[in-house]
């Protein structure tokens, strides 16, 4: 079926935790860390989150995110009695102003290219009711027809209902929509279960689990690569490129080109 729309996850797909803001919070807590060290720790934190989710923990509850922050703080050298203090500082700051406000370089270029190619764009996110305002803040919201936030809809991924609601709003068949996200059990399993095509955004090289779903098409990051500008549409990582199928009645899988360092999003 002809691909008509591309739908995105938000966190760790379109937007990431802001490294400058968190390094500032750490500094205020007496923890001196450079951005490079933080970036390395954050990659490992995402890996810990992936493992936790693969073990069956999904949703937006704080306990789902504990492994992420535990790995992040350990990676920047926070230990002992300092952990509780730094964790509370981060929690308060996130409650005051959402910390996932860093779009990966090239994200706007990718969205603009897809929009120019005629693909309809939207967002489906497990979030806390603030994801639309965050996307507005970072300048990405104008690219999307709508943002489905699980806190507003009352359904969380991987429930097929939230994907079907997006297709209903687009008035498109699920098979004509592609969903892009970073969590295999949440994003890819959920999208496929609702009948959508799916692309795993996988900068970490998460291994396939025995007994899990078939290996989905993968890409490393959303970023523009000059070598792919002549393609009919693209998502690229400077070395991993997905080109949406040309407008035709026959389905086609994304084309991938590999060779990119894992975790490079900042």
**Helix (H), strand (E), coil (C) string for 144-196:** CCCEEEHHHHCCCCCCHHHHHHHHHHHCCCHHHEEEEECCHHHHHHHHHHCCC
Q: What is the pLDDT of residue 209?
A: 52
The CATH code belonging to domain 5-14+102-242 is 3.40.50.1000
Record the pTM: 0.80
Average pLDDT, the chain: 80
Residue 159 has pLDDT above 90, yes or no: yes
Q: Where are the domains of the chain?
A: 5-14+102-242, 18-96
Residue 226 has pLDDT above 50, yes or no: no
CB contact burial 109-136 (16+ within 10 A = b; e otherwise): bbbebbbeeebbbbbbbbbeebbbebbe
- Residues 84-118 have pLDDT tens digits of 999 999 999 999 999 999 998 889 999 999 999 99
Neighbours of 207 (CB within 10 A): 10
Across the chain, where does the E strand assignment appear? 5-8, 15-16, 102-103, 120-125, 147-149, 177-181, 197-201, 218-219, 235-236, 241-242
């Amino acid at each position: 079926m002809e691909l008509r729309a591309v739908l995105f996850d938000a966190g760790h797909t379109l937007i990431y935790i802001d490294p400058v803001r968190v390094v500032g919070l750490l500094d205020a807590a007496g923890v001196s860390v450079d951005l490079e060290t933080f970036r390395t720790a954050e990659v490992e934190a995402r890996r810990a989150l992936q493992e936790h989710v693969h073990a069956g923990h999904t949703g937006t509850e704080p306990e789902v995110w504990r492994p992420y922050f535990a790995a992040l703080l350990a990676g920047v050298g926070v230990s002992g009695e300092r952990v509780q203090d730094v964790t509370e500082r981060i929690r308060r700051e996130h409650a005051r102003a959402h910390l996932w406000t860093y779009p990966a370089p090239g994200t706007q270029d990718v969205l603009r290219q897809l929009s120019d190619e005629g693909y309809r764009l939207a967002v489906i996110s497990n979030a806390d009711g603030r994801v639309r305002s965050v996307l507005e803040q970072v300048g990405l919201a104008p690219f999307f027809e709508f943002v489905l936030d699980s806190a507003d809809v009352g359904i969380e991924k991987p429930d097929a209902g939230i994907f079907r609601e997006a297709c209903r709003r687009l008035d498109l068949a699920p098979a004509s929509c592609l969903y892009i996200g970073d969590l295999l059990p949440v994003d890819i399993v959920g999208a496929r279960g609702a009948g959508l095509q799916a692309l795993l955004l996988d900068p970490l090289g998460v291994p396939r689990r025995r007994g899990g779903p078939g290996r989905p098409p993968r890409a490393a990051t959303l970023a523009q690569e000059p070598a792919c500008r002549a393609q009919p549409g693209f998502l690229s990582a400077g070395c991993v490129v997905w080109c949406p199928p040309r407008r035709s009645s026959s389905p086609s899988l994304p084309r991938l080109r590999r060779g990119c360092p894992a975790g490079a999003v900042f």
